[in-house]
Amino acid sequence: MLPRDLPGRDVYTFGDNPTAARRLALLARLFGPSARAFLGEWAPPSPRLVIDLGCGPGHTTRLLREELRPERIVGLDLSTGFLRLAVASSGPATRYVRADVSRDPLPVRSADLLYGRYLLAHLADPVRALRAWMGAVRRGGRVMVQETARLTSPVREFRRYYELLARLQRHHGQEPEIGARLGTLAASELPQATRVLHVGLRSLRLPATAMARLHVMNLRTWRGEPFVQRTVDAAELDELEAWLGAAATGGVRLPPVEQDLGELVLERG
């Protein structure tokens, strides 16, 4: 993940405070099954070295270790706060390194697998990041990416939340539904030996209560952004936060949130 307070770097709009850390724990539980399915279908067998891109507090690192049983696994992140949490719950053969995962060269090279989830959407130059990642893979190694391609709900309040968040991310030069363009990114100027093994969509129907819990924690983090304070009425944010908080308790029956996850698998020839 990318802390918001580092000048000259990409802005991680979801923050790296304690609320953001709790949100990532919930996100790990909610999206663990889709990540495990993706890894089961496309991860290389018996990897020696796996890199978790934007590891945050270490939830995806632990998932990768459990699913793939690599000889070594390294989590990379810029947030010192998140890395402290990750190290505190570190498992065997696991190391965490503070690094900007969007810039070449990465501090770890010759990996069998690099995995990134919900990361490209926070980068202003995703093609540069993909080039850096391919440069850290050994011959025959893979880069696996999952990103939101579509996120929607028939419920007005959810749609308004997605609209406001997308506006904020675009203000920072980011693409919130970049998962819909992974095939296009893969056709960009990547290293010549890059092979595209898979471009696809995984459709999910997610419990509205759990999504409201994620979103209300997020809103409490990014509503303090100067851009949001300039462009959105505080009373509307108060109302939306209150609605999400109530929806998170499960007191109102709501239809599932629909999400399409874009998937990309690249291999170095």
The answer to the question of residue 236 being in a domain is: no
Provide Rg for the chain, Cα atoms: 18
Q: How many Å apart are CA 2 and CA 79, to the nearest integer?
A: 6
What predicted TM-score, i.e. pTM, was given to this entire model?
0.94
Residues 194-247 pLDDT 10s? 999 999 999 999 999 999 999 999 999 999 999 999 999 999 999 999 999 999
Residues 72-84 pLDDT 10s? 999 999 999 999 9
The answer to the question of residue 63 being in a domain is: yes
The answer to the question of residue 93 being in a domain is: yes
Cα–Cα–Cα angle for 201, 216, 87, rounded to 5 degrees: 75
Give the residue numbers spanning the domain of 182: 18-151+174-207+258-268
Q: How many domains does the chain have?
A: 1
C-beta of residue 107 within 8 angstroms of C-beta of residue 97: yes
Residues 84-123 pLDDT 10s? 999 999 988 999 999 999 999 999 999 999 999 999 999 9
The answer to the question of residue 235 being in a domain is: no
What is the sign of the dihedral through the CA atoms of 40, 41, 47 and 51? negative
